[in-house]
Structure 1
Amino acid sequence: MSTFRVQRTVDSHFTIVPHALIRHPDLSPKAKAVMVCLLSYGSGEWTMKRLQNDMGLGKDASYAALDELMDEKAMYVRRYQPADSNGRFSQTIYEVSDCPYPENPDADDPDTENADALKRTLPEKNQQAEESFKEQLGELLDYLNAKTGRSFRDATREMKARLKSEGIERCRRVIDVCWGMWGDNDDMRKFVNTTTPFRANKFDCYLQMGDANDEPPEGYHWDDDDNDEGAEPPEGRPVRQDVAELFPENQQ
């Protein structure tokens, strides 16, 4: 379950929107509209379903807007997953503020008009979640590099967002699926990168393409070099030439 915790400097029956948000050059009109809607709720906790219903947005559009608002160029929203007593992540918390959160909570920016607000520090649980996320992000990059034989060093906004919303196991799975479809295609393997598999509007589709196939038989892996002797690929594996037709934007 996803929950929003909204912090506003002014609570009333109308919404005050900072000029910096309205004029932000790196935010799309949809992201700005989502932010205004979140601020209209006032201080308190609100659900993702409420936001989607009020804005008339689907899952992909909602998360795409949140990705923009969480981007380091904006920082109006931040996300963490508190663990329960068993160490499991039971919910996702999005913290929303009409004042951008600092990228470095300890940084003191003397040129910022709202310096006092920017000095707010993350709670200890948030810091632990951020450290865990950075560690998982490094593991995911290592996994992608090992799978593709490339040397990606920096994660994209799309990769970070999908890791936050979907978890590391599903992100590893989408890498496996995309590499299985495109890995031995000279024109397509370049799209197994830090962006294409993790796009919000395609992520679930890629996973469904992988899940539609039979499970690989014992001893068979997507990477041919790892196969046990005599292992055969599963039937129904995605046809590579069809992928280009399904996702024409990858041909650009």
Structure 2
Amino acid sequence: MCRLNPGYKALTIFLISLILSFEYNYYINFTIFILAIILMLLSKVKLKKILISFLSVVIMALGVFFTGYFYGNGEIGNSVNDISKIVVTIENRESGLQLAARILAYAGLGFLFVYTTNPRHFILSLMQQFKLSDKFAYGIMAAYNFIPIVRSEYKNITYAYRARGVKRNIFMLPMLVTAIRASENIAMAMESKGFQVGSSRSQYIKLKVDKIDYLLLILMPFLTLYIVIIF
């Protein structure tokens, strides 16, 4: 999965997700979820990382399942023991499983793409194969590179407040100043390198589209559609 073209991989996963949005068969959704985990393990993603990532997703899926299980159709009937007891039917269970399985399937596909894709290569693929404008592409890359800068600055400010014994921490103003300075430095660096929107540029990293990318783009969505129609 890591060797696939990021842009075509994203398009393949998007088409599969689009097909799944029209299907309520929880067997298919659970299968997609399990296959996503298997592919992540084959791509050498650490099991601990996968478990931590899916912890909140599983909790959300369980919450949605029990909500659909007890309140799927909203029917309330009479019972010998308790007149206000909620009647749990097979339809409620099916409704809960459908909603929970859909959450797991979409989360599995999303994490599969995130953990097997280099963000920089994904942006480059959008530029080279899908003709994304340089202005938007480099803007996205600059915003992505701001994340570690902001994280590091947050730690530095926290340590500075602790060293000075300041209990009231004010983070927004110094972090805003740091972000403005970093953006100015990036803009000056791009201008000094001769960056111009719309001009022809050479690429240090050239991403190729192999036959396997075309094959998966055609085969996987059609296979998913075939399974959805059959079941």
Normalised to the residue count of structure 1, the TM-score between the two structures is: 0.24
Higher relative contact order (CA 8 A, sep 6+): 2
- Which is higher, the Rg of structure 1 or of structure 2? 2
More strand by share: 1
More helix by share: 2
